[in-house]
């Protein structure tokens, strides 16, 4: 599928890489000649140097035969204009990055209608929502939701004192009363879709699917369920901090923000009256200690540099804070963070890339037997969790799962029928209209029918 990406900043470059890895025909557009040269050196893509809201560069990029245009420049208004122009020139679908908090929900709905936008994306808001989920459920390294939050998958790291170490999955299911499924395991660089005989080891990262209540029940039985974070210290005062603090304070949480820019501190004070905003350099450990870092339930580092976030999060971990999260965007730094003991990191760029990959696959599969509703990258991008809506053309409707020859490294991890989640067993089957959660390791699925 032909996709045009306008804007080659950090997020734009990540989107280009993700779309290329999916096999799409990508054209990149940016007015910076250096950025255009770098993207063509790194990826096998066509690139156009020019204004993405101007007719000539868009025509040169082939907008008339483009299925999807994604505008992610630094300017919201430029992104909207680029999408408007692309739509008028023949692009079938358009997505704009719109980040400014001044554009409220009502404004966005109006603009989407008037500009015929397929989607508006806000990386900072999406990152804040992801962080909010983790702070509500601090026992997890990652929380992914399906079917309007009625079904979840959480990632958990097994520590040396875990009761699950040395147990096979079938023994775990027999011992614990909660209804759940261990659907994927990462051990070192390897990822497995485990069978019942799979034995867990120290350090394994496991993915568990079930309803939120059943996952809480299991973690409570294991003695690893942590209470929700009630007091949160946030380092850095950018847009993600604003959105996260708003979510937290509206839920009754105590929030303390440390920011070195005095003008930004004033803005945060005005817009977040329930939060405590401190002007100071969070890189100074004395300041963090003075402001009571060791008494916090959670510490979130959201500065502009991965290195600072990692180092300050390590310091916070050494203060025995129950939940520490660092924003880390670069892949190589994520690997380093994990090696240094920081399991919980977040990347706005990856969140956006997942959303756009899901959208692109849904467009590709518009004539298929099932629609991709949700897509998440798991286990350092070595596995995927997908939610499909089963259409009437799915060839194995009504067939018991035990009679399906499912391909290796693929697992049906959940079925949601009439909003009621089902933990699949061999006697269960898929009906038309079911939402089906599938875990796939080291492969790419576009259609539910591809699992067999």
CATH number of the domain encompassing residue 33: 3.40.50.720
Give the Cα separation of 250 and 239 in Å (integer): 17
Mark whether 200 and 251 lie in a shared domain.
no
Same domain for 116 and 134, yes or no, is: no
Q: Which two tokens stand for residue 345?
A: 């990191």
Whether 145 maps to a domain, the answer reads yes
pLDDT at site 368: 64
Are residues 6 and 97 both part of a single domain?
A: yes
3-state DSSP of 174-191: HHCCCCCEEEEEEECCEE
Q: Are residues 355 and 444 in the same domain?
A: yes
Q: How many domains, in total, are found in the chain? A: 4
Q: Which of these three, 321, 336, 358, is where a domain ends?
A: 321
**Is residue 240 located within the same domain as residue 313?**
yes
Rounded to whole angstroms, how far apart are CA atoms 24 and 6?
Answer: 15
pTM of the entire predicted model? 0.89
**Residues 49 and 92 occupy one common structural domain:** yes
**Range of 417's domain?**
350-451
Answer yes or no: is 341 within a domain.
no
First to last CA, the chain: 24
The CATH number covering residue 140 comes to 3.30.70.1450
Q: Is residue 332, in this structure, part of any structural domain at all?
A: no
Task: Identify the domain boundary among 104, 121, 138.
Answer: 121
Do 380 and 293 fall within a single domain? Answer: no
117 and 136 fall within a common domain: no
Task: Return per-residue pLDDT of the chain as tens, 452 residues.
Answer: 999 999 999 999 999 999 999 999 999 999 999 999 999 999 999 999 999 999 999 999 999 999 999 999 999 999 999 999 999 999 999 999 998 877 767 777 888 888 889 999 999 999 999 999 999 999 999 999 998 788 999 999 998 989 999 999 999 988 987 889 999 999 988 999 999 999 999 999 999 999 999 999 999 888 888 888 999 999 999 999 999 999 999 999 999 999 999 999 999 999 999 999 999 999 999 999 999 999 999 999 999 999 999 999 999 999 999 999 999 998 889 889 988 989 899 999 999 998 999 899 888 776 566 778 888 989 988 999 999 999 999 999 999 999 999 999 999 999 999 989 999 999 999 999 999 999 999 888 889 999 99
- Kindly state whether residue 328 falls inside one of the protein's structural domains: no
Residue 18 lies in a domain: yes
Could you identify the residue written with the tokens 């409707």? Answer: 397
Other CB atoms within 10 Å distance of the CB of residue 137: 21
Rounded Cα gap, residues 391 and 264, in angstroms: 50
Does 101 lie in the same domain as 174? Answer: no
- 54 is a domain residue: yes
Q: Are residues 23 and 84 in the same domain?
A: yes
CA–CA separation, 202 and 217 (whole Å): 22
Cβ neighbours of 166 (radius 10 Å): 11
**Same domain? 213 vs 241:** no
Beta bridge partners of 374: 387
* pLDDT reported for residue 104: 66
Are 112 and 132 in a shared domain?
A: no
Domain boundary among 103, 121, 139: 121
């Amino acid at each position: 599928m032909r996709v045009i990406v306008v804007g080659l900043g950090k997020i734009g470059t990540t989107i280009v890489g993700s779309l290329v890895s999916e096999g799409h025909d990508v054209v990149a557009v940016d007015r910076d000649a250096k950025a255009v040269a770098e993207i063509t050196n790194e990826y096998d893509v066509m690139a156009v140097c020019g204004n993405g809201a101007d007719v000539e560069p868009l025509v040169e990029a082939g907008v008339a035969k483009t299925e999807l245009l994604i505008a992610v420049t630094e300017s919201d208004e430029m992104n909207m204009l680029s999408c408007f122009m692309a739509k008028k020139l023949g692009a079938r679908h358009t997505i704009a990055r719109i980040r400014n908090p001044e554009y409220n929900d009502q404004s966005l709905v109006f603009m989407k209608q008037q500009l015929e936008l397929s989607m508006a994306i806000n990386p900072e808001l999406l990152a804040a929502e992801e962080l909010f989920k983790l702070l509500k459920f601090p026992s997890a390294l990652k929380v992914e939701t399906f079917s309007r939050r009625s079904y979840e998958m959480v990632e958990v790291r097994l520590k040396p004192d875990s009761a699950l170490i040395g147990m096979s999955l079938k023994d775990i299911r027999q011992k614990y009363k909660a209804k759940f499924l261990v659907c994927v395991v990462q051990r070192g660089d390897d990822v497995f879709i485990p069978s019942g005989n799979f034995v867990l080891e120290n350090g394994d990262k496991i993915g568990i699917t079930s309803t939120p209540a059943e996952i809480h029940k299991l973690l409570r039985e294991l003695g690893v369920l942590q209470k929700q974070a009630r007091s949160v210290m946030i380092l850095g005062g950018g847009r993600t901090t604003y959105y996260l603090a708003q979510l937290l304070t509206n839920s009754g949480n105590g929030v303390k923000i440390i920011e070195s820019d005095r003008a930004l501190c004033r803005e945060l004070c005005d817009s977040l009256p329930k939060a405590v905003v401190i002007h100071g350099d969070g890189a100074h450990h004395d300041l963090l200690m003075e402001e009571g870092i060791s008494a916090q339930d959670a510490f979130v580092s959201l500065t502009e540099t991965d290195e600072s976030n990692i180092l300050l999060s390590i310091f916070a971990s050494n203060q025995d804070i129950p939940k520490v999260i660092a924003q880390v965007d670069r892949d190589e730094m994520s690997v380093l963070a994990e090696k240094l003991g920081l399991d919980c990191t977040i990347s706005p760029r990856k969140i956006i890339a997942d959303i756009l990959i899901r959208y692109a696959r849904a467009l590709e599969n518009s004539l298929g037997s099932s629609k991709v509703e949700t897509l998440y990258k798991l286990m350092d991008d070595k596995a995927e969790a997908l939610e499909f809506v089963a259409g009437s053309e799915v060839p194995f409707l009504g067939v018991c799962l035990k009679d399906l020859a499912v391909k290796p490294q693929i697992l049906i991890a959940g079925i949601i029928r009439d909003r009621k989640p089902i933990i699949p067993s061999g006697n269960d089957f898929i009906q038309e209209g079911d939402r089906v959660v599938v875990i796939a390791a080291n492969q790419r699925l576009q259609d539910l029918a591809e699992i067999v």
